[in-house]
Amino acid sequence: MTEPLLIYDTTLRDGTQAENFNLTVEDKVRVSLKLDELGIDFIEGGWPGSNPASVEFFREIGNYDLKHARLTAFGSTRLFANKAEDDPNLRALIEAKTPGVTIFGKSWDVHVTDALRIRLEDNLTIIEDSLAFLRPRVKHLFYDAEHFFDGFKKNPGYALATLDKAVDSGVECLVLCETNGGALPQELAGIITAVQSHLAQKGKTVPLGIHAHNDSETAVANSLLAVTLGAHHVQGTINGFGERCGNANLTSIIPALALKMGYRFKAAERLEQLTEVSRFVDELANLPHNKYLPYVGAAAFAHKGGIHVSAVERNPLTYEHVQPEKVGNIRRVLISDQSGKSNVLYKARKLGIELDKSDPMLTAIVKELKQQESQGLQFEGAEASFELLMRRILGVQRRYFDLKGFRVINQKTEEGAIQAEATIRLEVGGHSVHTAALGEGPVNALDKALRKALTRFYPQLEEMELKDYKVRVLASEHGTGARVRVLIESSDDDAVWGTVGVSHDILEASWQALVDSITYKLMKDERKQSGEKTRS
């Protein structure tokens, strides 16, 4: 195709209809600026006719200068009882003062008769009137043909008639919406071809767009297929957020179009920002990043089996369909009980540790790794603990402090309040330290006491925070006597790392993970100061 594709993001509107996905007005502004940097062509900011927060967003975003992206406001066709010029929804779209407006109308006759409760010809009238009113008042006008594919399957003649009204009103693009997410690619292809044939017979050349939902796990496939059939405009959301099962995922669509299908568009020139944008949106929504997302997930280029790692070292194409750096991601080699020498050698090189495949210490590390994991330790999400384990076996890991003992008291008062107090004794560089701290539960008290004891020696610990704490019961048939695994995720200003501990005692497991977390922080900072290569 000669003209570049247009990527249309609706994270701020359709994406926020997802369960547990919420953004403040400030968050929406920050996401908009990030999408603009990525090179998204159109950003749908919200529905000002139904949501006061959207009105506030459009007012606030006007204070910022977008370099590439153009904003659109979203709304519906007029109410049948209103004239177009008097319809509050249409007036709100104009008052949003965005370069573009997208409105949706009914394509499925069942929605016209059962939802709107008007005659089929009346629906054609409100489509035509609404678009005709908007056309001279906005620069870009898009029409979302809601439920178009279901409508076409039920009544193709009427579904096409709704498109005719939109085209006659001068829309810039007809966006065919697979709103229920139930259509499979083979169905989609036939319907798009029928639409193109119908428009050609009418002598109309308006571009087509696609808006797919993921209820059948085909939203990305349907979107890519639509483009191969000539769709010029692709709608979706970052990470696939959306109502029910979500919308078409732009973090999968964009690299597929750019790297595999050879299409031109602005975001294709900035693919290296894609992973950052994906994680940025999750962070603002206060949701964990889905590590299994294609292209941008932490597991997208993660290798676990030793045979895989050995092959990837020789030629990454053996188990990677694209280069991770092209989408801003990184290759990761996981350490687990399936790991062989290849995994450990790879990790050692990444960490700047010199090991040879014939080195007996390599065998010792692999043996210890498998022994630890047989006891319930898991290093896949705790690579910092594995690095420390490896350095300890090699005898190159510094001890920053030594535990002399700790005690944790947890009590419940008559008033029902829970109080936890931890007392800890450490030795740091020949100095004995004895401190106590209160906390929200025994683990929190232990964490506070440990930091309190160490911060005067290592003040950089103040910039470290615990981001996540997970407990998993192992072999639960042993009931309260079962082992537990504690996974801790920590962070500072420039890194995030995971550590692990396992024990029959949850406090001991937590202690192991906490000590590894702090030790890794101190080691990382020490290497950074000395100029040694650190792990990102």
How many helices and strands in the chain, by DSSP H and E? 17, 16
Contact 212, 248 (CB under 8 A): yes
pLDDT of 479: 61
Residue 52 burial (CB count, 10 A):
9
Distances in whole angstroms, Cα of residue 39 to Cα of each of 63, 142, 161, 274, 395: 19, 20, 35, 10, 49
d(CA 337, CA 42): 47
pLDDT at 350: 73
Which residues, including other chains, have CB under 8 Å from residue 530's CB and lie 6 or more apart? none
Q: HEC profile for 461-524?
A: HHHCEEEEEEEEECCHHHHHHCCEEEEEEEECCCCEEEEEEEECCHHHHHHHHHHHHHHHHHHH
Q: Enter the tokens of residue 328.
A: 């801003």
In terms of phi and psi (left: phi > 0; alpha: psi -120 to 50; beta: otherwise), the region of 340 is beta
Task: Annotate 355-394 with b (16+ C-beta within 10 A) or e (fewer).
Answer: beeeeebbeebbeebeebbeebbbbbbbbbbbbbbbbebb
Domains and CATH numbers, the chain: 6-284 (3.20.20.70), 302-374 (no CATH), 402-530 (3.30.160.270)
Pairing of strands 402-412, 173-178: unpaired
Q: With the CA atoms of 221, 222, 225 and 230 taken in that order, what torsion angle do they form, in degrees rounded to the nearest 10? A: -150
Per-residue model confidence as pLDDT tens for the chain (536 residues): 457 899 999 999 999 999 999 999 999 999 999 999 999 999 999 999 888 899 999 999 999 999 999 999 999 999 999 999 999 999 999 999 999 999 999 999 999 999 999 999 999 999 999 999 999 999 999 999 999 999 999 999 999 999 999 999 999 999 999 999 999 999 999 999 999 999 999 999 999 999 999 999 999 999 999 999 999 999 999 999 999 999 999 999 999 999 999 999 999 999 999 999 998 999 888 888 899 999 999 889 987 765 676 677 677 778 789 999 999 998 876 655 455 666 677 777 777 777 777 788 888 887 787 777 777 776 766 788 888 988 888 888 899 999 999 999 988 877 778 889 999 999 999 999 999 999 988 999 999 999 999 999 999 999 999 888 888 888 655 566 678 889 898 999 888 898 999 998 999 999 999 999 999 999 999 988 876 543 33
- Beta-carbon contacts of 313 under 8 Å, excluding residues fewer than 6 positions away, are 342, 346
Q: Which residue has the tokens 């000590």?
A: 515
Measure the CA–CA gap between 496 and 487, rounded to whole angstroms: 13
CA distance 44 to 262: 26
Please tell me the predicted confidence (pLDDT) of residue 361: 84
Gap between the terminal Cα atoms of the chain: 40
pLDDT of residue 335: 59
CA–CA distance, 40 with 71 (Å, rounded to integer) = 10
SS3 36: helix
b/e sequence 169-199, b meaning 16+ C-beta within 10 Å: bebbbbbbbbbebebeeebbbebbeebeebb
465-473 and 484-491: which strand pairing? antiparallel
Q: Pick from 238, 288, 319, 231: which is nearest to 3 by CA? A: 231
